Amino acid sequence: MKRRQFLALTGATVAAAVVGANISRAAPYLGAAGAGAAHPTDAAAFRAARRFADLPFGKIAYVERGSGDAALFLHGAPLNGFQWRGALDRLSPFRRCVAPDFMGLGYSEVPEQQSLRADAQVAMLAALLDTLAISRVDIVASDSGGAVAQLFAVRYPGRVRTMLLTNCDVEPDSPPPKVKPAIEMARAGTLADATAKWLTDKALARSTFGAAVYRDPSRFADETIEYYVTPLVSSPLRRAQYHAFHIALEPNPLAGIEASLKRSTVPVRIVWGASDDIFSQADADYLDHTFPRSQGIRRVPGAKLFFQEEFPDIIAEEAKRLWRIG
pTM here?
0.91
CB distance 75 to 99 below 8 Å: yes
DSSP string for residues in 190-202: -HHHHHHHHHH-H
CA distance 258 to 106: 30
pLDDT at residue number 30: 45
220 SS3 class: coil
Burial of 299 (0-12, 13-18, 19+ CB in 10 A): middle
pLDDT at residue number 37: 62
CA distance 183 to 317: 34
CB distance 21 to 195 below 8 Å: no
Burial 195-219 (b: 16+ CB within 10 A, else e): bbbbbeebbbbbbbbbbbbbbbbbb
Burial 70-100 (b: 16+ CB within 10 A, else e): bbbbbbbbbbbbbbbbbbbbbbbebbbbbbb
64 SS3 class: strand
| Helix residue ranges per DSSP H, 80-229 | 85-91, 118-131, 144-155, 180-188, 191-200, 202-205, 211-213, 222-229
CA distance 115 to 121: 8
pLDDT at residue number 36: 56
Q: Where are the domains of the chain?
A: 3-20+30-322
Find, among 63, 109, 66, the residue nearest to 84 by Cα: 63
For domain 3-20+30-322, the question of CATH label 3.40.50.300 is answered with no
pLDDT at residue number 326: 72
Roughly how many angstroms between the first and final C-alpha of the chain, as a whole number?
A: 52
pLDDT at residue number 186: 98
Question: Alpha carbon of 166 to those of 74, 86, 257, 266: distances in Å?
Answer: 10, 15, 18, 16
pLDDT at residue number 7: 40
CB distance 212 to 78 below 8 Å: no
CB distance 159 to 135 below 8 Å: yes
pLDDT at residue number 25: 28
CB distance 195 to 246 below 8 Å: no
CA distance 206 to 22: 9
CB distance 162 to 322 below 8 Å: yes
pLDDT at residue number 39: 78
Averages of pLDDT over each 10 residues, the chain, 326 residues:
39 36 32 54 97 98 98 98 98 98 98 98 98 98 98 98 98 98 98 98 98 96 98 98 98 98 98 98 98 98 98 98 93
